[in-house]
Structure 1
């Protein structure tokens, strides 16, 4: 049985994109330098591997997703020069990837001490690592530095030959995203702070004014309006957000898929699930369904997507109960194969299925099973009678 069709048949696009082979880690491992002696610590010029070479080796390992070995190269570099900014920031990023938040904090914190007014990236990372007011301060400092750098970039005549100041180029979207991060803090960690609501909205508005093509900012504003129970404004904002990325996704359906849909959409898989949830809450069911069906085309093993499709069909009334049952049944079966920690969602799936009851196909299957049992019993009785006779 295929997925229920809402208006017209929708063929699942063929994918030609395949994952490449797993990266080979041996090359990096064979080139790991020996532990530096006291002499090499004092005389870097005579070392087999200098700071730049160690960082180059680390980058090679990063390119093949071998973060553990990359961090070893960074550690050697730190032993040679504990206050090298490039090494500290690279090491901090790697420690984040490896789940060592405290180690990352130390690296980025030291980088801030050494260069507090240059380089925004370390503040962005610290904003993610800290909570509440500390995180807000980090993001605000990062925004200040990015704004200054962006102004300097705009004042220059940027050409292909321009190499910049050595730092990564800053975009208006980077600044917009940082404002979104602050707004989210006022929605969560600092929601009980005085004037939190006003600060939240102000930062979202700054995010939109910084980059009016940032879908994340409009989606966040939709969430803000929902928290205020203003569904009409929330609907306008989420539809504006979706209009900035969904057409690109739909355009892929008419082309050979040479890349993952996630690479085309400006927001990730999880954010698109959140977008569909907001659309459901604002009763934009068709748009929510279109997004969720697209997510299934990317990955059919996400229970929440099947559940949300079932839920939005259930909310549309009697005519959609068959569709609701189909999607919820899929979610239920998948939950028995894939681990899921969202107990309330699993419980709601069971409640809805119980309320909906079995569908016609399920009734027919049950009747068929009962008939098979009856025929088996009859055959057994006939066999016994023939033996007795």
Structure 2
């Protein structure tokens, strides 16, 4: 991509700069002449979500360094973000042809843009590269590396990112997911899914997501007992409050009970934590599920889905827990209606369960007051016509995503 064009100067002459004063913040493609400089600019604009400008640097980098694997990979990532999937695939494929034995991320990036067996193939190749690179770090003298010509510089090889056991484990998890989605109709889908899950567990026995996916595998098969074992096994890696003190991992964890939300702590993201709690409901581990949802609600006290799931767990637990279920479901209805929009599905599901509860447990004065408050706030907060394009709330008849188990 060439230098940005300025306004043409009048034919009779004059100073070009008089037409336009350069902005101090505008990027200058011509001022960056090295691959490292272009990559630095590209990454900077990617991190700040300025993808239009980042794409300009990606195109310029490809023009100047068309055989640099790092440039090709960075450009592919940029094109993926901007939705230019065809161009992203082309860059990934060229990066692989330029440096097939170094750089594992390009294989995983390409796999995410493919489907079915083509994706499995790229994930598998990426795993092979990761295992080779780890073996080289552990004992380079014991690893035979084929002498394949590469256009990559020695600097690229020296700065290649070393994978971790968690990276390998997550790649196997991606393969297992393919056998429950794109390839679920294959004759050997179940065996291949289980094989990938076993490999993920072997690669990183402390990967909470591996435990979670293994639990989901057994839930699909209808084996709740085995699923519960894996859910609880994964839970011990990041949530220790449910264990007796003598079984907690360390004195540090004895002081830091409950859910860890600190970034960089090695704990799973909140989405995986919530998925774990949902799996506990499916495994009929209601007490533990409710303890987790109580933790989540303390951090997000107005999240209607968390209140609904907490109430749903109490509801499934039985009649003795109907009072707690009624309270949680009523709060879910309350928070499902805001001035920004309404989550109709949650309200409908809450009404269904509350109706069932009312047939067994007569309403009390407190429950009547709670319901009255919800109905009053519903009428006040219900927008006549919502215009919340950037909101996650649903305002049409379809409602929010179905959250029922």
Q: TM-score, normalised by structure 2?
A: 0.71
Q: What CA distance in whole angstroms lies between the structure 2 residues aligned with 1:205 and 1:366?
A: 49
- Aligned residue in 2 for 1:379: none
Q: Cα offset for 1:254?
A: 5.4
> Is 1:122 aligned to residue 123 of structure 2?
no
Q: How far apart, in 2, do the equivalents of 1:29 and 1:76 lie?
A: 20
Answer yes or no: is 1:316 the counterpart of 2:300.
Answer: no
Tell me which of the two structures has the higher relative contact order, counting C-alpha pairs closer than 8 angstroms and 6 or more residues apart: 1
Higher share in helix? 1
Is 292-301 or 120-129 further displaced after alignment? Answer: 292-301
Alignment match of 1:33 (pick from 28, 39, 44): 28
Measure how far apart 1:262 and its partner are: 5.2
1:102-154: per-residue Cα shift (whole Å, max 9, x none)? 44323223322333333210111122222211111111111111111111111
Structure 1 alignment gaps of length 5 or more: 1-27, 37-46, 158-162, 369-389
2:331 match:
330
Q: Deviations over 1:162-204 (max 9, x none)?
A: x973210111111111111111111121111011101111111
Cα distance in 1 between the residues matched to 2:185 and 2:175: 15
Cα distance per residue 1:52-101 (max 9 Å; x no partner): 22222223334544444333322221232333221221122233334444
Give the aligned partner of residue 240 of structure 1. 233
Structure 1 counterpart of 2:45, from 51, 61, 75: 61
Q: Does 1:298 align with 2:291?
A: no
Aligned CA RMSD, in angstroms, stands at 3.3
Partners of 1:198 and 1:288 in 2: CA distance: 30
Q: Secondary structure at the match of 2:112?
A: helix
Q: Secondary structure at the match of 2:322?
A: helix
In 2: Cα distance, 1:65 partner to 1:237 partner: 38
Counterpart pick for 2:205 among 212, 225, 228: 212
Q: 1:123 and 1:367 mapped to 2: Cα distance?
A: 57
| 3-state SS in 1 of match to 2:160 | coil
Counterpart in the other structure of 2:9 = none
Q: Which residue of 1 aligns with 2:403?
A: none
Partner of 2:66: 82
